[in-house]
Amino acid sequence: MRTEFGKVAVLMGGNSAEREISLLSGQAVLAALLRQNVAAIGIDAAHDVVTQLASIDRVFIALHGRGGEDGTIQGLLEFMGIPYTGSQVLGSALAMDKYRTKQLWQSINLPTPPSQLINANSHLPTVATQFGFPLIVKPVLEGSSFGISIVTNLGELATAYTAAAQFDSNVMLERYINGPEYTAAILADTVLPIIRLATPREFYDFTAKYQDSQTTYNCPCGLTTKQEQAFQQLAMQAFLAVGASGWGRVDFMCDANSEPWLLEVNTVPGLTDHSLVPMAAKAAAINFDQLILRILSTA
């Protein structure tokens, strides 16, 4: 049995909309740790977390969404003095808030599509005129593309707002970028090979991510070496700007002029053996078990 990590808890599940995906990630992480002879147990964060953490030396956070990726569990672990993987409280909380992340990026001149918060009292025709169509409507504090819609006309806007508001009272509009979508995985101080995502669906939504066999993941991503290096540098800037650390993922799109537009930072991306970060790690000759150990070592 390996001793350098002590007794490790893999936190998974929880109560967010991404609970089922988190359970898949957590079970994959736990299996990898056990294969590597790490003294690891799984803990469902939906039940009595504090008591179960009492004898734990280190935590691998495999929680997605609110309650696990927004700084709350990180704050608890800080209070308890238990080392954990991924970003700390500030980086987690800020990255979870897509709108404030974008405000920060804009303040340091990093490219991100213009956006605006809306609520039930917003005069949607006026807002839509400012942005033009198509545009994106999304919850501010949600992941896995829950509640996201592409809106092509004013008649769809109220419906899209209602769909987003079911997940979060904070809803935002964002200018639509028509072009390929990319993701850059970050491991410690390294940006792994970029992946280009392609789907026959309207956009890379929940179905495209988790259910559609026609979704493709291209790595090499088709960019020139110079472009990929420039976008990797941009991804690291975006990641560090929000206070993220350890590991994570930065998503962006390119427009018709091949200019990049940052979308969001994921501080606890999916970790099944077919998720994006493991794909990028594989392209860098890092297998799944090695990836999990390297993430754990950053705790």
Alpha carbon distance 233, 210 (integer Å) = 28
Catalytic residue among 22, 84, 249, 275: 249
Establish whether 210 is a catalytic residue: yes
| Of 210, 260, 161, nearest in space to 21 by CA | 210
Alpha carbon distance 136, 162 (integer Å) = 13
- Under 8 Å between Cβ of 163 and 149: yes
| Of 276, 274, 231, 233, nearest in space to 254 by CA | 231
Establish whether 270 is a catalytic residue: yes
Establish whether 144 is a catalytic residue: yes
Establish whether 228 is a catalytic residue: no
Enter the tokens of residue 32. Answer: 């990898």
- How many angstroms from the chain centroid is the CA of residue 238? 13
Catalytic residue among 175, 210, 255, 294: 210
- Under 8 Å between Cβ of 140 and 98: yes
- How many angstroms from the chain centroid is the CA of residue 279? 15
Establish whether 264 is a catalytic residue: yes
On the 0-12 / 13-18 / 19+ scale of CB atoms within 10 A, 174 is buried
DSSP track, 217-281: EESS-S--HHHHHHHHHHHHHHHHHTT--SEEEEEEEE-TT--EEEEEEESS---STTSHHHHHH
Alpha carbon distance 144, 207 (integer Å) = 10
Catalytic residue among 14, 16, 18, 204: 18
Catalytic residue among 92, 115, 144, 149: 144
Catalytic residue among 22, 25, 92, 266: 266
Establish whether 181 is a catalytic residue: no
Establish whether 245 is a catalytic residue: no
Q: How far is CA 290 from CA 13, 159, 297, in A?
A: 23, 45, 10
Catalytic residue among 44, 205, 228, 251: 251
3-state DSSP call for residue 27?
Answer: helix
Establish whether 35 is a catalytic residue: no
Give the residue numbers annotated as catalytic, written as ranges. 18, 144, 210, 249, 251, 264, 266, 270
